Each structure stands twice: as structure tokens, then as C-alpha cells.
């Protein structure tokens, strides 16, 4: 006699159906056919997902760590968000999602974990060889596997300055002229390479040396936007609040030149008080680490400037504010509040 109490507590198990919707006893379809059908539809599904995940502005697949969405869920890559916010600020208007026209800002944009995880699994074209690689494997491919990646000659230690595609490196190295050079010629070539490398880091080293100055100070500055801005203006000028350094009052001024193809920033230091003696002030600007993301830290490249001040209202010449790349300028302008860290040294 069946145990009715046990049957009553046993959970109900739904009967498994095959792909055609028939009962469990249907055996007309081969066992492996469902796996074959799934394999056939997988590339199509991957491509459909890829199209859904594209940035709504540039129509490129965003990096999984740099994808954002508006309040309605439309995906925008970080570079496009940066440009949208910067262009809106330059034209004194609110930034909007280009798809749904909802308001966007760094505070309103969010990241979607599911979108990020999906992007890691999707294929993306390698920028060098155009081969489709899963995003999660793309960095390794670009570093060690891509035949079109840029490499140096393996005899660079002998002074060879050749660089080119990895697939051409074997042919070059087989006939590298540095293998036939004398020891004196190799030393001369290495000296040239060393001089070039020293020149590349010279601005940064000059700034580091000045950090041992007799008196040193730094200030984190907010730059105030002009009340009315427009792309039609040839240039815009920003200025900081008054700061007090070395017993004097100062103000930083920044000029933004709106070119047809690029934005160029320069800055000037102005003394407001009357100095008791002639001051030789060395200064440079960076971004404050506490107010920017890690990838922005080197957007402003340190470059040492100096100027003499001996009367109130005197300003230094406008010096270029060196940016690491064009998008770095947009990242600065897209900040909710534009901030710079001004370093000042007095010997």
C-alpha cells in the first residue's frame, strides 16, 4: 500500500520535454542534435549581443571596465561620456544621452555588472591584425601573440633602433647591421639611445629636483568656468580663488584656446600682493590624486616653469599646460569641478 503521507510531502517534478515540445518518451530526435543546433546558433547570438552592447555614440564595443549607462540603460563608453560632458560644458548646456535625451552626469551614470561581464566574453577586433579575439584575452594577444604588434629589434642592446611588426622582425634580425658594428660604434649607438631617453624624462626630473627647494608649497585649486561659454568663442579663460603662499597672495589663470581640430590649455601665475623683495618662483601643475581617477593621474605632464615677481598685479607669461593626449583635455573639462594642483618652489 503506498505511503500517502510521503507522497504528499515529495516535491512535484516537472516532466522533461525535448526540443520539439513532446513528452519524455519521444525519441525521434537524435540525442546530439540539440547540441549541434546550439553550436550553430552561438555565433549568431554572440553577434546579436555584440550589437546590443555597442556604445550608442561611437558604435564601438566599450572596454568592460569603461562602460556606463544612462538612467534608461543606454550604453556609452567612457571616452564618449567624456566628450559629451566636455562639449556640454563648453556650450553652457546640460549633457544628454544621445539616444533618449535624458540628462547625464558623472553622478547619474552607472555601471552595470551584467553588461561588464558580458563584454569580457564578446569578441573584439584586434586593432593591429583585425583578428577577432575575446575581450578577456585581448590584452595577452596584443602583448605576446599578435603578428602585427610593434616590437623592437632584439639587438637593441647593441644600439639598433629598428622597430616594426613582429612578423617582420625575424627578417630584420637576420641581417641587422648592428651585428657587423665594431665595439666603438656600438658604444656610440648606445650613447645616442641613452641621450634620447634622458631627454624624454628631463621635464619630470627637473620637477623632482625642485622638490628639494628651500621652501615648497602646493595648493589644490578649483577653476571657475566663465558665466557664458560657447564653441564660437576663440578662447575661454578660467581663474582660481586667491591663494596665500610664501606670505603673498596669488591667483592661477588658465586659458583654453578652441582650435578647429584641438583644444590647447595654457596657464599663468599672477601675484596680487606687493612683494617685499624680488621673488624667483618655480612652479608646475599636476592633477590632485584625491580628486581624479587613477587613469587621469598623468593626464597633465609636469613641466617646470619659472618667473620673477617684484610688483603687485604682475603675471607670468602663459605657459603650455602639457596634456598626455587629446582625450586628456576633454577628461579635464568633463570633471564636475575642474581641479589642478599647483606646486610652487622658492629658493
Question: Does residue 135 sit in the same domain as residue 249?
Answer: no
In a domain, 7, yes or no: no
Per-residue model confidence (pLDDT) at position 19: 43
CB 263 within 8 A of CB 280: no
Per-residue model confidence (pLDDT) at position 14: 47
Cell numbers for 335, please give them.
570633471
Per-residue model confidence (pLDDT) at position 285: 93
pLDDT band for position 191 (50/70/90)?
confident
- Residue range 68-97: average pLDDT? 90
In a domain, 264, yes or no: yes
Question: Does residue 141 sit in the same domain as residue 170?
Answer: no
Q: What's CA 26's distance to the chain center, in Å?
A: 57
Question: Does residue 90 sit in the same domain as residue 104?
Answer: yes
In a domain, 255, yes or no: yes
pLDDT at 252 over 90: yes
Per-residue model confidence (pLDDT) at position 145: 87
Instruction: State which of 19-33, 149-163, 187-201 shows the largest mean pLDDT.
Output: 149-163
pLDDT at 23 over 70: no
For residues 185 and 176, give the distance between their C-alpha atoms in angstroms, rounded to a whole number.
14
Higher per-residue pLDDT: 41 or 144:
144
Q: What's CA 221's distance to the chain center, in Å?
A: 22
CB 116 within 8 A of CB 67: yes
In a domain, 17, yes or no: no
Per-residue pLDDT tens for 289-316? 888 888 888 899 888 999 999 999 999 9
Instruction: State which of 5-19, 125-139, 321-335 shows the largest mean pLDDT.
Output: 321-335
**Residues pairing with 237 in the sheet:** 255
Per-residue model confidence (pLDDT) at position 25: 46
CATH number, domain at 72?
3.30.40.10
Question: Does residue 238 sit in the same domain as residue 321?
Answer: yes
Q: What share of the chain is helix, strand, coil (3-state, %, to 5)?
A: 35, 25, 40
Question: Does residue 224 sit in the same domain as residue 297?
Answer: yes
Question: Does residue 329 sit in the same domain as residue 307?
Answer: yes
Per-residue model confidence (pLDDT) at position 313: 92
Contacting residues for 180 by C-beta, under 8 A, at least 6 apart: none
Question: Does residue 160 sit in the same domain as residue 224?
Answer: no
- Residue range 216-230: average pLDDT? 80
pLDDT at 246 over 70: yes
CATH number, domain at 297?
2.60.210.10
Question: Which pairing describes strands 319-320 and 305-309: parallel, antiparallel, or unpaired?
Answer: unpaired
Question: Does residue 139 sit in the same domain as residue 258?
Answer: no
In a domain, 140, yes or no: yes
Question: Is the whole model's pTM more than 0.75, yes or no?
Answer: no
Question: Does residue 228 sit in the same domain as residue 324?
Answer: yes
For residues 76 and 186, give the distance between their C-alpha atoms in angstroms, rounded to a whole number.
51
In a domain, 21, yes or no: no
In a domain, 182, yes or no: no
**Residues pairing with 132 in the sheet:** 125
In degrees, rounded to 5, the angle at the alpha carbon of residue 111 between the alpha carbons of residues 106 and 113 is 170
In a domain, 290, yes or no: yes
In degrees, rounded to 5, the angle at the alpha carbon of residue 67 between the alpha carbons of residues 64 and 68 is 150
Structural domain count of the chain: 3
Question: Does residue 254 sit in the same domain as residue 327?
Answer: yes
Question: Does residue 85 sit in the same domain as residue 167?
Answer: no
- Residue range 74-102: average pLDDT? 90
Question: Does residue 241 sit in the same domain as residue 195?
Answer: no
For residues 206 and 303, give the distance between their C-alpha atoms in angstroms, rounded to a whole number.
8
Residue 117's domain spans which residues? 39-145
Amino acid at each position: 500500500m503506498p505511503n500517502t503521507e510521503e507522497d504528499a510531502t515529495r516535491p512535484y517534478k516537472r516532466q522533461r520535454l525535448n526540443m520539439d515540445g513532446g513528452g519524455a518518451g519521444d525519441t525521434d530526435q537524435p540525442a546530439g542534435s540539440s547540441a549541434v543546433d546550439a553550436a550553430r546558433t552561438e555565433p549568431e547570438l554572440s553577434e546579436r549581443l555584440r550589437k546590443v552592447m555597442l556604445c550608442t555614440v561611437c558604435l564601438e564595443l566599450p572596454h568592460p571596465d569603461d562602460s556606463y549607462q544612462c538612467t534608461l540603460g543606454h550604453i556609452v563608453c567612457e571616452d564618449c561620456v567624456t566628450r559629451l560632458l566636455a562639449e556640454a560644458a563648453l556650450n553652457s548646456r546640460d549633457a544628454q544621452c544621445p539616444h533618449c535625451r535624458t540628462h547625464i552626469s558623472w553622478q547619474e551614470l552607472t555601471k552595470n555588472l551584467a553588461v561588464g561581464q558580458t563584454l569580457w566574453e564578446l569578441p573584439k577586433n584586434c586593432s593591429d591584425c583585425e583578428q577577432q579575439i575575446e575581450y578577456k584575452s585581448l590584452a595577452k594577444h596584443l602583448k605576446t601573440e599578435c603578428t602585427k604588434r610593434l616590437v623592437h629589434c632584439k639587438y637593441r642592446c647593441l644600439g639598433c633602433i629598428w622597430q616594426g611588426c613582429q612578423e617582420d622582425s625575424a627578417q630584420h634580425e637576420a641581417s641587422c647591421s648592428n651585428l657587423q658594428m665594431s665595439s666603438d660604434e656600438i658604444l656610440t649607438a648606445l650613447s645616442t639611445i641613452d641621450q634620447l631617453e634622458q631627454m624624454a624624462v628631463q621635464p619630470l626630473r627637473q620637477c623632482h629636483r625642485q622638490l628639494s627647494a628651500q621652501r615648497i608649497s602646493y595648493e589644490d585649486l578649483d577653476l571657475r568656468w566663465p558665466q557664458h561659454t560657447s564653441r564660437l568663442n576663440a578662447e575661454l579663460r578660467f581663474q582660481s580663488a586667491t591663494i596665500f603662499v610664501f606670505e603673498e597672495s596669488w591667483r592661477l589663470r588658465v586659458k583654453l584656446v578652441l582650435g578647429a581640430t584641438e583644444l590647447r590649455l595654457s596657464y599663468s601665475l599672477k601675484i596680487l600682493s606687493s612683494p617685499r623683495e624680488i621673488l624667483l618662483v618655480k612652479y608646475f601643475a599636476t592633477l590632485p590624486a584625491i580628486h581624479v581617477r587613477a587613469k587621469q593621474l598623468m593626464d597633465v605632464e609636469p613641466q617646470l616653469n619659472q618667473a620673477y615677481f617684484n610688483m603687485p598685479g604682475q603675471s607670468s607669461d602663459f605657459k603650455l599646460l602639457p596634456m598626455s593626449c587629446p582625450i586628456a583635455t576633454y577628461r579635464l573639462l568633463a570633471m564636475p569641478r575642474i581641479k589642478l594642483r599647483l606646486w610652487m618652489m622658492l629658493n
